[in-house]
Amino acid sequence: MDMELEAYLRPPESEMAPYPAKVITLATGKKMVVREVTRDTVPELLEAVMPTLFIPRDYYDIVGARLYAELLGWYRYRVKDEFCIIGQVDGFLVGIVNSRMYSPELGISLHTLAIERGMRIGAHLFAAKMEHHIEYLDQEEVLITAESPIGFRRWMIEYNLEKRDGQHELGGATPYALTRELYFENKDRLVAGERPVPAELLEIAEREIKVASEDDIREKILGARRRQRR
């Protein structure tokens, strides 16, 4: 690799405050560890994202394909100031969210992928990335768009977001913004998690990002009855 040329192709990176891990008690009573991951974990994450590329239901294929590209771009230094937060239950990856800083003041929410469904995992992880933008990266607002009806309902309606002119960098639907004010108005209702994470839970999560088999991922997303249908 010609590092001189590579230096031109790699975006400059800003200093970003770390996101401290937290633990959320789900409706099932299980504990989900929510933590920021570094780019070296991307290969494991891509393994979990891959099966979703073939699931059209609820636009998983579009979200999965775009998330795959964004994570790969981050892994190979082609996206500026991206971060990724994951949820793990008993070490197993149950959801991924990614986002990036567009400027010190403005965040851009990219994607939210829930592998386990029906437990508000996507909602909890989306809330975690908003928490990171506003509370730890100290940004003024986050620009958000939606690619699926579920996303629209969760993000746009639950947070009562403000409409914005112009476009989100993902293109697509009208962008909306979560401002600091809106975030703190909704925080008690929507942002869960306790810190610090008990050492034994964090140790299990950090030891290994366990990824379910392709069949299991399909079943978790589609339900047992549909996992074999393509």
Query: For residue 33, how far is the Cα from the chain centroid?
Result: 14
Binding residues with other proteins: total (CB under 8 A): 22
Q: Convert residues 65-84 into a mask of x (bound to other proteins by CB under 8 A) and - (unbound).
A: --------------------
Number of C-alpha atoms within 13 angstroms, CB side, residue 106? 10
Which residue, 163 or 225, is less far from other proteins as judged by CB? 225
Query: Segment 163-192, which members bind other proteins (CB under 8 A)?
Result: 189-192
State yes or no: cis peptide before 196, omega within 30 of 0: yes
> Do residues 76 and 33 make contact, with C-beta atoms less than 8 angstroms apart?
no
Q: How far is the CB of 57 from other proteins (least distance, A)?
A: 7
- Kindly state whether residue 195 participates in binding other proteins, applying the rule CB under 8 A: no
Which residue, 143 or 190, is less far from other proteins as judged by CB? 190
- Kindly state whether residue 204 participates in binding other proteins, applying the rule CB under 8 A: no
> Do residues 122 and 154 make contact, with C-beta atoms less than 8 angstroms apart?
yes
Q: Which of 17, 104, 138, 153 binds other proteins (CB under 8 A)?
A: 153
Query: Segment 89-118, which members bind other proteins (CB under 8 A)?
Result: 118
Query: Segment 26-55, which members bind other proteins (CB under 8 A)?
Result: 26-30
Q: Sheet with 141-144: list strands edge to edge.
A: 22-25, 31-37, 82-89, 92-101, 106-114, 141-144, 176-179, 162-163
Q: Which of 11, 43, 172, 223 binds other proteins (CB under 8 A)?
A: 223
Q: Determine the straight-line distance between the first and last CA of the chain, rounded to whole angstroms.
A: 40
Q: Which stretch binds other proteins (CB under 8 A): 22-30, 34-42, 59-67, 78-86?
A: 22-30
Q: How far is the CB of 56 from other proteins (least distance, A)?
A: 10
Which residue, 76 or 153, is less far from other proteins as judged by CB? 153
Q: Distance between CA 130 and CA 198 in Å, rounded?
A: 23
Angle separating helix axes 60-75 and 42-49, nearest 10 degrees: 160
Q: What is the 3-state secondary structure (H, E, C) of 126-176?
A: HHHHHHHHHHHCCCCEEEECCCCHHHHHHHHHCCCCEECCCCCCCCCCCCE
Q: Which stretch binds other proteins (CB under 8 A): 23-31, 44-52, 164-172, 205-213?
A: 23-31
Read off the DSSP letter of residue 27: T
- Binding residues for other proteins, rule: CB under 8 A, are 24-30, 57, 118-120, 124, 149, 153, 189-194, 223, 225
